[in-house]
Amino acid sequence: MKNEVKQCQNCKKDFTIESEDFSFYEKIKVPPPTFCPECRTVRRLCWRNEMSLYKRKCDAEGHDEDIITIYHPEEKLIICDTKYWWGDKWNAISHGRAYDFSKPFFQQWKELRDNIPLQALSNSNAKNSDYCNVAEDSKDSYMSSGSWKIDKTYYSNRISETRECSDLYVAHRCELCYDSLFCTDCYRTLYSFNCKSCVDSYFLYDCHGCTNCFGCTNLRNKSYCMWNEQLSREEYINHLTELNLESYEIILKLKEKFNELYLKSLHRFINQSKVVNSTGDNLDGVKNCKFCFDATGTQIEDSKYIHWIAHYAKDVYDSGPGIGEGEMIYEAFDTGIGNFRNLFTSVVYNSHDIEYAFNCYGCSNLFGCIGIRNKNYCILNKQYPKEEYETLIPKIKEHMNSMPYIDNFGRVYRYGEFFPTELSPFSYNETVAQDYFPITKEEAIKKGYRWRNRKISEHKITIEAESLPDNLKDISESIVGEIIGCLHKGKCKDRCLRAYKITINELNLYCQLGVPLPRLCYICRHEARLRKRNPMKLWHRTCMCDKLNHEHDGKCQNEFETAFAPDRPEMVYCEQCYNKEVY
């Protein structure tokens, strides 16, 4: 088919469905989308809560203890602790119900969801890490999410195989790192951005293989550099000793100076490695993918509109975060590990031929199911003989088209649409939608999203951040018992908690690294890191290089798609000009 321009039924803007897209939709037997790519992404993200945690009573039979959960206490749901949910005291099949052709499908799915046990957190094989979510194999960690195999890691997001770290965003195989983002294989690297294999360094941007460097950008395999100037070992150590890096005020000034250097540095139009015929940002091992962000794997191919993908993925559209080791996946998140043909799913693993399912494992041929394990041929949690299942599915899809779900804003949800956002148990500002597409409360309500006003902490603030000693050496262990008032005091545009505590493990790490105590709550710190990353959007631009010693006359004319918007101040180079300058 030829390219086709359609109007998004959500934002009313035009978007293009390309011929390759139609081929994919035909392959998985779904109709073309009626939402534009960005609105599809936002709709999906409204269902993923990673960091908004609450205390509520466990609803499991015979339980009344407090549990930590992603579901607000006001949500009328059956929330159970993870151990109970994975146990044999309940059976998801017993909640099954016959399909009702007098009601829209999504209404029936919500009725099932509201009356079946849901696990409080997605936190498997955790040891002393009760406050981690969307996490696997966490040990002695706290308030970290989107993680795998972390140890003594605090206040971090989208991380794997980290140890003794805090305040990281997108980091892999790092140890003793702090307040950094997009770092891989780093050791004792602090206040840094987009670095690989760096050791004992501070304030680095786009540095690879550097040791004992401070305030540097675009360096490769250097040692003892400060503010991009090569020093001797003795000079470097002397300068570093003079800096007093345990002072909060000194760190603030150094951050300002580093930001000035960052803006003067070179920026490759895409952060990539081993990438073929692909567009997006932060890509490694990607081939024939478009609008792909934060993807790292051995073989990620033939996919589009995806983000936060790992390991192996092929023929994946409109999916993420949390996709890996799967094929033919559409409109899904937190789905993978041996999956094939998963459509409109979340938290589904080791399963194939699954549609409109949530929290299912080791299954095949499910439609509209929740909490199913090791079963097949189920619709709304009711199991059928194979022949009856295969007869019912086409009828249900036809019913979804003839009796669609229509939300409060008049948006129509037929077969082929992801779950309506108004059915999500989360408000917009509780989800990662606010991370990637931040809006105000007024904007959210205008667009038809729910918004939850954060309850002011009942804990009385015992010390304001402004009153903390400037230097780490003047901090005693008594700080662990204090409730500190966030410097923003809830007046920022972030989801400020207004107050926070310092845990003993956290304090020990600060002392080990020699860094001052934070003055902001962990949410404000997280959102400050998010503002440093590029958006999940692309602009068509031309290389900004005008170097005379490059292989072009005057200004370089190479064009590309980049996540750096045209009004940004960074100097953005094409691959050839960037490599000429950096390597």
Task: Report if residue 48 sits inside a domain.
Answer: no
Tell me the three state secondary structure of residue 441: helix
C-alpha torsion angle, residues 427, 429, 430, 431 (rounded to 10): 100
Q: Give 385: exposed, middle or buried? Use CB within 10 Å, 0-12, 13-18, 19+.
A: exposed
HSE at residue 358, side-chain half, CA atoms within 13 A, is 21
Q: How far apart are alpha carbons 176 and 174 in whole angstroms?
A: 7
Assess if residue 368 is contained within a domain.
Answer: yes
Decide if 10 is inside a domain.
Answer: no
Kindly give the pairing relationship between strand 499-500 and strand 484-485.
Answer: antiparallel
Strands 463-464 and 133-139: unpaired
Task: Tell me whether residue 102 is exposed, middle or buried, using C-beta atoms within 10 angstroms of its C-beta: 0 to 12, 13 to 18, 19 or more.
Answer: exposed
Look at residue 403 in the predicted model and tell me its pLDDT: 99
**Residue 92 within a domain:** no
| 269: its two tokens | 């139009």
Peptide bond into 321 cis (omega under 30): yes
- Domain closes at, from 268, 294, 325: 268
Task: Describe the strand order of the beta sheet including 272-276 as a list of residue ranges.
Answer: 272-276, 280-319, 323-349, 352-361, 364-367, 376-379, 382-383
Domain boundary among 389, 404, 419: 404
Q: Are residues 242 and 144 in the same domain?
A: yes
Distance (Å, whole) CA 7 – CA 86:
44
Pair (506, 559) in one structural domain: no
Tokens of 116: 């079946």
Which residues span the domain enclosing 356? 272-404
Q: Are the C-beta atoms of 46 and 35 separated by less than 8 Å?
A: no
**Whether 576 and 473 share a structural domain:** no
Please count the other Cβ atoms lying within 10 Å of the Cβ belonging to residue 43.
Answer: 23
Q: Looking at 242, 268, 294, which one is the last position of a domain? A: 268
Instruction: For residues 201 and 215, give the distance between their C-alpha atoms in angstroms, rounded to a whole number.
Output: 8
Q: Are residues 382 and 304 part of one domain?
A: yes
Domain count across the chain: 4
Kindly state whether residue 358 falls inside one of the protein's structural domains: yes
The CA-based angle 252-140-83, given to 5 degrees, is: 130
Residues 294, 389: one domain?
yes
Looking at the fold, whether 280 and 386 belong to one and the same domain comes out as yes
Torsion, Cα 84 88 91 92, to 10 degrees, reads 50
**Claim to verify: residue 314 and residue 246 sit in the same structural domain:** no
The reply to whether 557 and 526 lie within a common domain is no
Query: Is 420 a member of any domain?
Result: no
- Domain identity same for 242 and 366: no
Together in a domain, 133 and 256? yes
Cα distance between residue 386 and residue 364, in whole Å: 11
Beta bridge pairs of residue 184: 172, 196
pLDDT on residue 65:
96
Co-location of 510 and 547 in the same domain: no
Residue 260, in any domain of the structure: yes
* Residue 518 C-alpha from the chain's centroid: 23
Give me the pLDDT at residue 457, please. 67
Write out the chain's pLDDT in tens, 583 residues: 789 999 999 999 999 999 999 999 999 999 999 999 999 999 999 999 999 999 999 999 999 999 999 999 999 999 999 999 999 999 999 999 999 999 999 999 999 999 999 999 999 999 999 999 999 999 999 999 999 999 999 999 999 999 999 999 999 999 999 999 999 999 999 999 999 999 999 999 999 999 999 999 999 999 999 999 999 999 999 999 999 999 999 999 999 999 999 999 999 999 999 999 999 999 999 999 999 999 987 789 999 999 999 889 999 999 999 998 899 999 999 998 889 999 999 999 999 999 999 999 999 999 999 999 999 999 999 999 999 999 999 999 999 999 999 999 999 999 999 999 999 999 999 999 999 999 999 999 999 999 999 877 677 999 999 999 999 999 999 999 899 999 999 999 899 999 999 999 999 999 999 999 999 999 999 999 999 999 999 999 999 999 988 888 889 999 999 999 999 999 999 999 999 999 9
Residues 255 and 370 in one domain: no
Q: Is residue 558 part of a domain?
A: yes
Torsion sign across C-alpha atoms 108, 111, 116, 117: positive
